[in-house]
């Protein structure tokens, strides 16, 4: 296998590309296309897992490295040309960028207030809720005239470059570079979480005051990195950095008063939003505020667990997502760079990434009729498989 490893990997990459392309192009029927994309999305994980297995078991070479890198680039270029069939979020990004270009504050208005004609804009009745870093990224992309998903692709490309500079074994870099989640969600659907991941990982690999500056910028994307402050205080304390972090967050007061920010941050948690999407353990809670308490307790406990930094972040994100009311598939991408760094086996975390594309079924009704309906039986099967597999891996390691 060693001699033919680069040929095997090239074959896996070709199969990956074929599934990625055929899932979108094979039909004009909206329902059939969404179904084929979501099923193909999961199938690509077979080639992903196989590629990781091959790469982790053979010596690295220039030929092998060339195949891995060229395949990663090819996946992304193809995905970028495909329509955002599984998401309308790019419409929201464009509306917010247009609003800023008109000299308006997107945190103080909404598509409904301005009478936007496109009713497909997600959160039609709501003003902007995410941090100003994302608003600037969307506005800058809009000014270039390029597709809105250019912003997310740029951030994910920078993440790959930053990860490459860490000089990991090639198979660890492949966890990011060949990840179907990264390719579909950031390069096809254009979700902006790639900025959050880039900035958080930059904070992770930085030292001194700069780690706090990057953490501050990550917090100014989707807010929840604020909960990682206890871990950073314990392992990356810096007086100058903490001051810079505080000033970065305080800069938000130039846009809105604290009371309004609290309302928006509460809304973005997904715990108190009043609806669920792919909920895992959240369904067993009797009160929505319990999820906030669990996340806060986990955050405060991390410094005492004697784990490595990467393992601590993985532990927090696992619990944070497990008790969240909403687990959108791209949220799982938060874990990827830390799984690549961790001493832990990444498979228990990669399994839900492979299965959750099947839970895109509500998009069919949403596209065709504007109705959102989730098949709970499918979600039970998905999360049962995750629990069974993860439990097996845990007990095998515990007894081994």
pLDDT digits (tens, 9 = 90+) for 360-377: 888 887 777 777 788 888
In angstroms, rounded to a whole number, what is the distance separating the alpha carbons of residues 41 and 361?
Answer: 13
Provide the domain limits for residue 158.
Answer: 5-399
Task: State residue 51's pLDDT score.
Answer: 95
In angstroms, rounded to a whole number, what is the distance separating the alpha carbons of residues 33 and 50?
Answer: 26
Among 62-71, 89-98, 156-165, the range of highest mean pLDDT: 156-165
Q: Do 305 and 252 contact (CB within 8 A), yes or no? A: no
Please state the pTM of the whole predicted model: 0.93
Which range is least confidently modeled, 56-60, 64-68, 140-144?
56-60
Short-list 55, 82, 349, CA closest to 178: 55
For the chain, give me the number of helices (H) and strands (E)?
A: 20, 0
Going by the DSSP 8-state scheme, the letter that residue 303 receives in this structure is: G
Exposure pattern of 278-300 as b/e (b: 16+ CB <10 Å)? bbbebeebeeeeebbebbeebbe
Query: For 316-341, what is the mean pLDDT?
Result: 92
Q: How confident is the model at residue 272 (pLDDT cuts 50, 70, 90)?
A: very low
Task: State residue 55's pLDDT score.
Answer: 92
Task: State residue 396's pLDDT score.
Answer: 67
Question: How many domains, the chain?
Answer: 1
CB atoms within 10 A of CB 345: 13
Q: How confident is the model at residue 271 (pLDDT cuts 50, 70, 90)?
A: very low
In angstroms, rounded to a whole number, what is the distance separating the alpha carbons of residues 183 and 187?
Answer: 5
Task: State residue 400's pLDDT score.
Answer: 47
Q: What are phi and psi of 277, to 5 degrees?
A: -145, 115
Query: For 91-110, what is the mean pLDDT?
Result: 92
Does the pLDDT value for residue 324 go beyond 90? Answer: no
Residues 6+ apart with CB under 8 A from 280: 321, 322, 323, 324, 327, 383, 386
């Amino acid at each position: 296998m060693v001699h033919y490893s680069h040929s095997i990997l090239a074959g896996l990459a070709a199969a990956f590309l074929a599934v990625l392309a055929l899932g979108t192009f094979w039909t004009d029927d909206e329902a059939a296309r969404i179904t084929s994309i979501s099923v193909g999305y999961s199938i690509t994980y077979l080639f992903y897992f196989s590629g990781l297995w091959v790469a982790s078991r053979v010596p690295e070479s220039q030929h092998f490295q060339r195949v891995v890198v060229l395949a990663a680039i090819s996946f992304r270029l193809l995905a970028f040309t495909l329509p955002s069939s599984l998401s309308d979020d790019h419409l929201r990004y464009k509306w917010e960028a247009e609003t800023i270009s008109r000299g308006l504050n997107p945190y103080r208005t909404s598509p409904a207030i301005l009478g936007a004609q496109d009713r497909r804009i997600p959160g039609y009745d709501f003003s902007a809720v995410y941090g100003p870093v994302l608003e600037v990224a969307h506005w800058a992309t809009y000014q270039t005239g390029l597709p809105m998903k250019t912003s997310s692709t740029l951030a994910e490309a920078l993440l790959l470059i930053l990860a490459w500079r860490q000089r990991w074994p090639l198979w660890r870099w492949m966890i990011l570079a060949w990840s179907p989640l990264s390719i579909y969600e950031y390069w096809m659907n254009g979700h902006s979480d790639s900025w959050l991941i880039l900035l958080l990982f930059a904070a992770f690999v930085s030292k001194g005051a700069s780690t706090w500056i990057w953490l501050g910028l990550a917090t100014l994307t989707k807010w929840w990195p604020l909960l990682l402050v206890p871990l950073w205080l314990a392992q990356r304390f810096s007086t100058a950095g903490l001051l810079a972090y505080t000033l970065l967050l305080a800069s938000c007061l130039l846009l809105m008063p604290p009371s309004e920010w609290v309302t928006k941050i509460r809304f973005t948690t997904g715990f108190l939003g009043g609806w669920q999407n792919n909920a895992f353990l959240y369904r067993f809670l009797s009160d929505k505020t319990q999820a906030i308490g669990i996340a806060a307790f986990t955050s405060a406990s991390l410094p005492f667990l004697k784990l490595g930094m990467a393992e601590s972040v993985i532990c927090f994100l696992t619990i944070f997502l497990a008790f969240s009311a909403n687990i959108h598939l791209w949220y799982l991408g938060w874990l990827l760079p830390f799984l690549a760094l961790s001493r832990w086996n990444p498979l228990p975390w990669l399994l839900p990434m492979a299965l959750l594309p099947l839970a895109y079924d509500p998009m069919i009704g949403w596209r065709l009729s504007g109705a959102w309906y989730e098949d709970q039986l499918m979600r039970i099967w998905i999360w049962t498989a995750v629990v069974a597999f993860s439990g097996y891996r845990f007990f095998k390691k515990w007894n081994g």
